[in-house]
Structure 1
Amino acid sequence: MKKSLIAAALSTALFMPTFANAADYKIDTDGAHASINFKVSHLGYSFIQGRFNKFDGQFSFDETNIAASKITVNVDTSSLDSNHAERDKHIKSDDFINAGKFSEAKFVSQKFTEKADGSLVINGSLTLHGITKPITIDANLVGAGEDPWGGYRAGFQGTTRLQLVDFGIQVMGPASYVDMELNVEGVRQ
């Protein structure tokens, strides 16, 4: 009797359809497989590009129920790096992002929406420079699958434009905004 119950359970498990469920991922900053990059106008003559070297976060993603997805990202603003130490010191000063007082920026999603073309719109709140404002990130799933180390990964690319005055950050010349590019690869937990 016990063997037939086990056999019935196994055959049911083998032939039941499988559905993807929401999975939780840790953003892979340890392996440097994620980045938060920025681009801002320099006096209207060129662009300064840089990144934040220290951040972490997690996300939950379900390809069959995009609306149930969510993400949280914490950024160490003192890790700003534009490849120029004196400029970085100025950008991190109280003239701009004031990293000494506001050492963390945080994004928390509130809504994921899938568009007809398969791209994603992520609405959420960004806290930057001590001010919390709603922002929208346009994103795409880059891919998901097993990695060579026996894990499972999912990766996304996203962009958003932040108006500096919305976050109480000084505008210098025509640089009223900063464009952000987000590359997020997570390892399923």
Structure 2
Amino acid sequence: MTKAKWAVDASHSSVDFSVKHMMIAKVKGSFQNFEASIEADPTDLTTADIEFKVDLASVDTKNTDRDNHLRSADFFDVENHPAMTFKSTSIVKTDDGEYDVTGDLTIRGTTKPETFKVVFEGQGKDPWGNEKVGFSAEGSINRSDYGLVWNAALETGGVLVGDQVKISLEIEAQKA
């Protein structure tokens, strides 16, 4: 297969995260609005160009007060930094259909290299003849690397919000 442009089908895709809360539990959330520019041969991602943009105001943790706090200057500061972006810089095949995708992740105006494990889940045609592909991606970032340093000390020791944020994506895309 040759390199082609792929449009993310947001209704069949997700961008999710989880972070430790009070050092004993995980809080999960997702971003409802995101877009991507993918130019790739889905059977060999090593030559792909991948760009991702997430609307940080679309954060959803199923708690309005927490979501508003995440949008505030304590965390994402969406008024000054409305988007989180990722642009691939290197893609290495690690196994059949599995890749390490490294790129520049930008949050709150800070850009750092991050690597995500990506799995090509397959391809096929939908009932209307549209060619579709699926990918899963997982990674972990340190939120304080991006200036997301707000926290509160706990009476029992430790902190309210963990530093490691696990990120998980499920992507279905249609050939453009």
- TM-score of the aligned structures, taking structure 1 as reference length: 0.84
Task: Name which of structure 1's ranges 71-80 and 53-62 shifts more when overlaid on structure 2.
Answer: 53-62
Calculate percent identity across the aligned residue pairs. 29
Matched, 1:46 2:33: no
Change (3 A) 1:63 1:187: closer
Deviation at 1:117, TM superposition (A): 4.5
2:42, 2:133 within 8 Å by CA — same for their partners in 1?
no
Residue ranges of structure 1 left out of the alignment (5+ in a row): 1-19
1:158, 1:183 within 8 Å by CA — same for their partners in 2?
yes
Larger Rg: 1
Q: 1:175 aligns with which of 162, 171, 175?
A: 162
Q: Which of structure 1's runs of 4+ aligned residues deviate more than 2 A? A: 63-66
1:112, 1:122 within 8 Å by CA — same for their partners in 2?
yes
Where 1:112 maps in the other structure, the secondary structure is: strand
From the two aligned structures, give the one with the greater strand fraction. Answer: 2
Give 1:41's aligned amino acid.
K
Please, what is the CA RMSD of the aligned residues? Answer: 1.3
2:42, 2:120 within 8 Å by CA — same for their partners in 1?
no
Deviation at 1:118, TM superposition (A): 3.5
In structure 2, the partner of 1:22 is 3
Task: Name which of structure 1's ranges 76-85 and 56-65 shifts more when overlaid on structure 2.
Answer: 56-65
Q: Matched residues in 2 for 1:116 and 1:75: separation?
A: 28
Task: Name which of structure 1's ranges 118-127 and 56-65 shifts more when overlaid on structure 2.
Answer: 56-65
- TM-score of the aligned structures, taking structure 2 as reference length: 0.90
Residue ranges of structure 2 left out of the alignment (5+ in a row): 152-158
2:14, 2:171 within 8 Å by CA — same for their partners in 1?
yes
Which protein, 1 or 2, shows the higher relative CO under an 8 Å CA cutoff with sep ≥ 6? 2
Where 1:21 maps in the other structure, the secondary structure is: coil
Deviation at 1:103, TM superposition (A): 0.4
Q: Matched residues in 1 for 2:44 and 2:168: separation?
A: 25
Q: 2:139 aligns with which of 160, 175, 179?
A: 160
In structure 2, the partner of 1:33 is 12
Deviation at 1:166, TM superposition (A): 1.0
1:70, 1:112 within 8 Å by CA — same for their partners in 2?
no
From the two aligned structures, give the one with the greater helix fraction. Answer: 1
Q: Matched residues in 1 for 2:43 and 2:119: separation?
A: 15
Q: Matched residues in 2 for 1:63 and 1:160: separation?
A: 20
Matched, 1:77 2:56: yes
Aligned length in residues:
168
